[in-house]
């Protein structure tokens, strides 16, 4: 009998089944913010002068532009010195205040930090004059107040960014993905993700495709990293879907420990 109850508890703590309405959002109702900066505003001169990082920034910009510019009504690029947290907040708030915009997606192509004291904990590499990354949790807390329930998916290429997933989910994003450890593969996985996401594949399938990359496995082995993206939240959403009237923070749990499933779907397309 004890085992029976243990199984019941495990089933409760492994999976949440959420009754939610899934709406169709077309191009005119979608917006994207791409925050791209690897070479500027960092205390390490080798990073600021690194030609590889500068080429990565350029390639990330062109990959997002190539695959996603035509899939959103508005795409805002915060590039290099413009990739500040204040500019990011301004962009998010300005989009959230537009009645026709129903879903706001974000791509971070930034550096990340773990628990180094000088960076104040899990940091996300926005450009800063003092060259100290903002704490991801504090950025997430500020986002809660700006977005009116319009945040949808976030893809982060920052090192160790999967450790920040819970902050972004609690901020209001419905699905998020971040790197498991040091991200070594440059833009390889970003290219693969945006390609599938733009074609109507689910967030999870787009992430899975980005992870299935032989070159990434080689670079991770050589550089002792782990570029695999870990996804959390409502990962079955695709580019044409949005959930309304749901707040992850209301569950009062660490959302990265759970598998979220939608049990009631209304007006839901199978693909874009």
By the 8 A CB rule, do 136 and 164 touch?
A: yes
* pLDDT tens column, 126-163: 888 777 788 888 999 999 888 878 999 999 988 777 78
pLDDT at residue number 126:
86
pLDDT of the chain along its 272 residues, tens only?
333 333 333 333 456 666 677 899 999 999 999 999 987 766 555 566 677 778 889 999 999 999 999 999 999 999 998 999 999 999 999 999 999 999 999 999 998 877 654 545 688 888 887 777 888 889 999 998 888 789 999 999 887 777 888 889 989 999 999 887 677 667 888 999 999 999 999 999 999 999 888 776 777 667 776 668 889 888 999 999 998 777 776 666 677 766 666 554 444 443 44
Quickly list DSSP for 176-210. Answer: EEEESS---STTHHHHHHHHHHHTT--HHHHHHHH
For residue 48, what pLDDT is reported?
60
Residue 258's pLDDT is 66
Question: Which pLDDT does position 220 carry in this prediction?
Answer: 65
What is the per-residue pLDDT across 61-101, written as a single tens digit (0 to 9) for each?
Answer: 999 999 999 999 999 999 998 999 999 999 999 999 999 99
The closest of 197, 225, 223, 220 to 210, measured between CA atoms, is: 197
Instruction: Work out the number of other CB atoms within 10 angstroms of the CB of residue 26.
Output: 12
Q: What is the pLDDT of residue 214?
A: 76
Where are any strands of DSSP class E within the chain? Answer: 15-19, 22-24, 30-37, 74-79, 103-110, 112-113, 123-124, 151-156, 175-179, 229-233, 241-243, 259-264
Taking a C-beta distance cutoff of 8 angstroms, is the pair 174, 237 a contact? yes
Q: Name the nearest CA neighbour of 162 among 114, 236, 229.
A: 229
Global pTM?
0.83
- Cα separation, 67 vs 217, in Å, equals 24
Q: What is the pLDDT of residue 77?
A: 98
CATH pick for 26-264 out of 1.10.287, 3.30.160, 3.40.50, 1.20.5:
3.40.50
CA distance 100 to 93: 14
């Amino acid at each position: 009998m004890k085992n029976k109850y243990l199984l019941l508890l495990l089933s409760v703590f492994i999976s949440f089944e959420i009754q939610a309405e899934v709406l169709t959002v077309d191009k005119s109702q979608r917006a994207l913010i791409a925050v791209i900066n690897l070479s500027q505003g960092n205390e390490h001169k080798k990073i600021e002068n690194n030609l590889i990082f500068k080429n990565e920034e350029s390639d990330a910009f062109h990959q997002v532009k190539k695959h996603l510019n035509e899939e959103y009504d508005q795409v805002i690029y915060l590039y290099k010195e413009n990739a500040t947290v204040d500019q990011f907040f301004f962009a998010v708030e300005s989009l959230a205040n537009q009645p026709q915009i129903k879903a706001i997606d974000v791509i971070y192509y930034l550096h990340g930090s773990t628990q180094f004291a000088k960076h104040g904990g899990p940091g996300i590499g926005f450009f800063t004059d003092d060259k100290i990354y903002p704490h991801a949790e504090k950025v997430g807390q500020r986002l809660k107040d700006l977005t009116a329930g319009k945040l949808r998916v976030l893809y982060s290429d920052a090192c160790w960014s999967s450790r920040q997933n819970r902050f972004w989910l609690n901020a209001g994003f419905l699905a998020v993905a971040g790197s498991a450890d040091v991200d070594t593969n440059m833009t390889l996985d970003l290219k693969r993700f945006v390609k599938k996401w733009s074609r109507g594949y689910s967030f999870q399938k787009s992430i899975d495709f980005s992870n299935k990359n032989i070159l990434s496995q080689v670079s991770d082995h050589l550089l002792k990293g782990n570029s695999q993206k870990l996804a959390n939240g409502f990962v079955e959403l695709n580019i044409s879907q949005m959930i309304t009237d749901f707040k992850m923070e209301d569950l009062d749990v660490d959302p990265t420990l759970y598998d979220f499933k939608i049990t009631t779907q209304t007006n839901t397309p199978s693909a874009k």
